[in-house]
Amino acid sequence: MIRKEINRISEVGKALISVEGNPGVALNHVVELLEADTKQSLSFAKAINITEKSTRFQVFNGTQGLSTQTKIRMHEVPLTAGFSYNMLGRSFDGVGKVADGGPEVIFDKQVSTRLDTLNPTVRLVPKQALWTGIPMIDVFNTLVKSQKIPIFAGPTEPYNRLLSQIAQGAQADIIIFAGIGLKFDEYQYFKKQLSQSGNIDKTIMFSHLAGDSQIKGLMLPDVALGVAREFADQGKDVLVLLTDMTNWSNILRNVANYQDQIPSLQGYPGSLYSELAKRYEVAADIDGAGSITIIGATTLESLEDPVPDNTGYITEGQLFLENGKLKLARSLSRLKQAVNGKTRDDHRPIMTAMASLLAEAEKAYEAAEVGAANDAFSQKLLSYREDFITNMEEPFGEPIELELALDRCWDILKRHFEPTETGLSKKLIEKYWDL
Amino acid sequence: MNQVGSFRREEKSIMGSSKKRTGTLISIQDSLVKARFYQDVIMGETAEITVEGKQLQAEVLQIEAESTGENTGIVEMQVFEDLTGAQIGDLVEFKGKPLSVLLGPGLLTSIWDGLQNPLYKLSEQNAYLVPGMKAPALDEEKLWNFTPMLKVGDIVKGGDAIGSVPEGRLEHKILVPFSFGKCKIESIEAKCELNITQQVAMIIDEQNNSHILKLVFHQPVKSPIPFKERAIPSDTISTGVRVIDLLAPVGYGGTVGNPGPFGAGKTVLQHSLCKYALADIIIMAACGERAGEAVEVFKDFAELEDPSTGESLMNRMCIFGNTSSMPVAAREASVFIALTVGEYYRYQGYNVILLADSTSRWAQALRERSGRQGDIPGPEAFPMDIPDQIKGMYQRAGADAGTGGSLTFIGTVSPAGGNFQEPVTQSTMDATGGFWGLSQDRADAKKYPAIDPLVYTNSVYDSFISDTDRNKILQTLHEANGIDQTISTIGLKKVPLDKYVQYQKGQTIDFCVMQQDAFHEIDACTRPERLGLINIAVQKLIDNPIEFSQNEMEDEELKAVVKTKFDELRQWWKDWNSSAQNEEQLDGLSNKIEQFIKQEEVVL
């Protein structure tokens, strides 16, 4: 098939190029950039802004080395991703090209990366718990299949370790790893962990390393999620690990700035919320098919930063990692109510009781700093707080089953309080206090 | 109403000439396009753009004449669907009608996207929402049992009822479209069964043009349906949420802004209102929020009972779901469409509550658009006129003494960074009569609902309790909060006993009355009668001094006794909240408080 070619690039910028006139490219369609003399393929690019006078493209491999002489070949289709079960166990880049040095993969089909919205009526109301063996998650913030939830953490926190721990025990048919702006050691760490836990054969890795072309990083979630969605459509339960969406948002910001868009907060484009939502909303339990669960990582300096702030409004809760501990106060699984009422009868009440005692304890802790926590109850609260942080907020270690974790909760309460101080009902106290 | 006038003329001229007005695309960027046109284009009219054989809906935002050509100009439009595949030269056809909503029987129980496409019908075509998919907004086959109210020769005008059909347990009046002036009925069906595509009547206007009426008609969403006789909201809505009904109530026809940082419980509160607020109709505009939450409403709530009728809760609801991953341009439309449906039922005399979640996403949609259009940005890059747009939106709510109906508008706000100083929250506070601010601190302490009674909470509407009682509760909570801060700065030892008792009273009111378990079948909803009993108990607790001193006990020891006693009371009250149902159990609360005040030694 002969493809139309364009001969003159009018502008080469950071990550973007423009051509003059209207070559007949359609919005979001892909073109291939060719070396002028040898016609060797240099990169692909996507049309993002089209007018009568000029057309602008995002260049997947970056614009280094391009010139006004570079040729453009039109492909007349939007970006698709290759799909095949042969992808399992393999690594790909942000636009779905083999990136592990292994043989090329023969794809069964090409899937759309447009991430059309799933019709809400086709969604099931998620009701199936996803157990992790981590008490802070299973007791206090139970996860649910098809949930979308990020880990919020400072850049130096072990968020990738937590992500991989959750993945190891995950009840999923397929794991899609989507890493944007990774450091090489992080990439290796995940690969090793997934191999050691025996999950590598059901995993596909899409990785973009820090320093790789920005546009490839920008495209990566769409490619990874497009592939994940195809598995789900075929009836599989898919777990997507998305790290780190702050890196992705920063690429989005850079590219918006190259395009001279008017920034809203801290330089991010006004569309940040919609752009993040479009990716996270791919998580779904699909009626008559499989499911997609997204557990992500969002690094942050402050919760008020636009990326975590917008993410919090989009995702179904967040797990807050601080000083290596999963903090109860800011963590939340929005879907936990769908499952934690069907477990042991003390699950919900003890969760509420321990949480409000911890909030009181935090107040007492602040008071203690100015020497004002001198009454007996405040002292109880303070020792409870210590115990809680050590025994409940620790995410790493051997997995613990829910019932054992609940028993551990009662033990902690008994160590510090009288029954009435807990705010738990008489009925439950009678049932569990003197076990 | 010039806008409507020009559209009506346009409609006629198009019908007369049957000539299509078209243009071609000359610029495409995200959801914003420009086209060159050759005849006339009307501000705000809708258009269809043909992209790869599919028709995509668009709305005109701006028109400019071109200096070069004759009769040509450039029109700027926002497109409501994804434009992938669009090219320069693609055909645009102008429709001559502004963005409209189809009004008529069958609205209730429906679930649409932001442009009134029925989602269940679309799912028969594809599991995904692919650009260009369409389906009739209302069921075209269902038969409705029409009963005429007027006869041939009667004079009618826009908004008058010519008959009615039963819609569930409501009587759905068939109205003459609001754009009509004085007309005479030339023919009208007798009592019969009709679907919405069939003629129900023929009317003749004063220019002797005849018009066919059906059970349904289109109403432009940005032209509010008028009030017959606008009134100040007077009756209080029983929402079932204690902190709201006691301290920050809302009346039928009122407006409330409900801001809160993420995780503070906006969604749970919205769902509570959906389930328990007493109203004829609840409209939910899921605007730019999670799809899962809307799904929970239409899938799980269908199994719940309507508190006033005992029927399925969905029978009193309709849902517009423009969720966060759907095209942004349709977000603005979704809120206006929902408002228009609300006004329509208000005009029929029903009490309607519109829950819009979230108005911030609506404002962000305007921000994205104005950014693309290159407008000079206001604070935080929102359009400069955002306060006026927000006010205009809330103003469409209200009570109508002429019809007996009302439209209550409760809008959630999602402030960036949880900061209530941001433009949308501030403008909303300015525009609404009630304000329910959710607090991060209370949410962190899992004190739900996290509406902070002391900060950012107010209401101009009447409560179920007297102003005196309401103020006494607020004052007690304020004092307790003050003493709490004193305790954390100077320690419990230095706080006098009577202050400590006062603090414990405030804590008790907070724990047992302000906090409520939205997931517990009994505690989740408190009706006015029960609320009255609670208020009596609360007032007794506030009014009466309690004598705890026993046999010269040390101060510290005594405070420990006070705490234990109050802890026991709170545990008892919490149990009462989740168990008391019959009269005897309900009366138990008042007795318990009396005993507590006297500190009589009774077995707990």
ipTM: 0.90
Residue A110: how many CA atoms within 13 Å on its side-chain side?
A: 10
pLDDT, position B397: 97
Binning pLDDT at 50, 70 and 90, where does residue B2 land? very low
Name the least confident of A175-179, B146-150, B487-491: B487-491
Phi, psi of B373 (to 5 degrees): -75, -10
pLDDT, position B18: 54
Flag whether pLDDT at B12 surpasses 60. no
Nearest-Cα residue of chain A relative to residue B419: A304
Return the closest-CA partner of residue B428 out of B259, B253, B263, B285.
Answer: B259
The three-state secondary structure class of A44 is: strand
% of chain A at pLDDT higher than 70: 99
Taking domain B144-215, whether its CATH number is 2.40.50.100 is answered by: yes
* Pick from B377, B381, B571: CB nearest A420: B571
Q: Other C-beta atoms within 10 Å of B373: how many?
A: 14
B519, exposed or middle or buried, with CB in 10 Å at 0-12, 13-18, 19+? middle
CATH number of A5-78: 2.40.10.170
pLDDT, position A22: 81
A270 within 8 A of B364, measured Cβ to Cβ: yes
B381/A25 touch (CB, cutoff 8 Å), yes or no: no
% of chain B at pLDDT higher than 90: 75
Helices and strands (H and E) in chain B: how many: 15, 26
Q: Which residue has the higher pLDDT, B519 or A225?
A: A225
The average pLDDT across A325-349 equals 92
Domain limits, chain B: 2-98, 144-215, 230-464, 468-598
Q: Which residues of A369-382 are buried (b: 16+ CB within 10 A; e: fewer)?
A: eeebbebebbebbb
Binning pLDDT at 50, 70 and 90, where does residue B603 land? very low
pLDDT digits (tens, 9 = 90+) for B570-594: 999 999 999 999 999 999 999 999 9
| Token pair listed for B540 | 């007794």
Domain limits, chain A: 5-78, 81-335, 347-432
pLDDT digits (tens, 9 = 90+) for B292-350: 988 988 888 888 888 888 889 999 999 998 999 998 888 888 999 999 999 999 999 99
Partners of residue A79 in chain B, C-beta under 8 Å:
none
E strands, A69-113, in order: 71-78, 80-83, 91-92, 109-112
Looking at CA atoms only, how far is residue B37 from chain A in angstroms? 14
DSSP assignment of A118-160 equals BPGGGBPPP--EE--S-HHHHTTS-EETT-EEEEEE-TTS-HH
User: CA angle B475-B476-B482, nearest 5°?
Assistant: 90
Binning pLDDT at 50, 70 and 90, where does residue A435 land? confident
CATH number of B2-98: 2.40.10.170
pLDDT, position B554: 84
Average pLDDT over all residues of chain A: 92
Rounded to an integer, what distance in angstroms lies between the CA atom of residue B382 and that of residue A264?
8
A208, exposed or middle or buried, with CB in 10 Å at 0-12, 13-18, 19+? buried
Average pLDDT over all residues of chain B: 91
pLDDT, position A2: 59
Rounded to an integer, what distance in angstroms lies between the CA atom of residue B243 and that of residue B248?
7
Interface of A with B in 241-280 (CB under 8 A): 261-265, 269-271, 273-274, 277-278
pLDDT, position B602: 45
B251 within 8 A of B422, measured Cβ to Cβ: no
| Token pair listed for A250 | 């920063």
* A143-144/A129-130 β-pairing: antiparallel
pLDDT digits (tens, 9 = 90+) for B43-77: 999 999 999 999 999 999 999 887 766 678 999 99
The average pLDDT across A124-133 equals 93
Rounded to an integer, what distance in angstroms lies between the CA atom of residue A11 and that of residue A256?
17
Rounded to an integer, what distance in angstroms lies between the CA atom of residue B167 and that of residue B149?
16
Contacts 24+ apart (CB under 8 A), B421-426: B422/B379, B422/B380, B423/B363, B423/B378, B423/B379, B423/B380, B423/B382, B423/B386, B423/B387, B424/B359, B424/B360, B424/B363, B424/B382, B424/B386, B424/B390, B425/B257, B425/B259, B426/B387
| Token pair listed for B284 | 């939910």
Q: Tell me the C-alpha to C-alpha distance, in Å, between residue B437 and each of A86, A143, B2, B360, B416.
A: 53, 28, 39, 14, 14
* Pick from A261, A284, A289: CB nearest B371: A261
Report, at the CATH architecture level, how domain B230-464 is classified: 3-Layer(aba) Sandwich (3.40)
* B442, containing H or E segment: helix B440-444
Partners of residue B371 in chain A, C-beta under 8 Å:
261-262, 264, 269-270
Is A221 in the B-facing interface, judged by CB distances under 8 Å?
Answer: no
Rounded to an integer, what distance in angstroms lies between the CA atom of residue B366 and that of residue B70?
33
Fold classification of B468-598 (topology level)? 1.10.1140
pLDDT, position B75: 95
* B202, containing H or E segment: strand B201-205
Partners of residue B261 in chain A, C-beta under 8 Å:
312
pLDDT digits (tens, 9 = 90+) for A405-427: 999 999 999 999 999 899 898 89
Rounded to an integer, what distance in angstroms lies between the CA atom of residue B307 and that of residue A429?
33
Partners of residue B84 in chain A, C-beta under 8 Å:
26-29, 78, 114
Fold classification of A81-335 (topology level)? Rossmann fold (3.40.50)
Binning pLDDT at 50, 70 and 90, where does residue B601 land? low
Helix, strand, coil % in chain A, rounded to nearest 5? 35, 25, 35
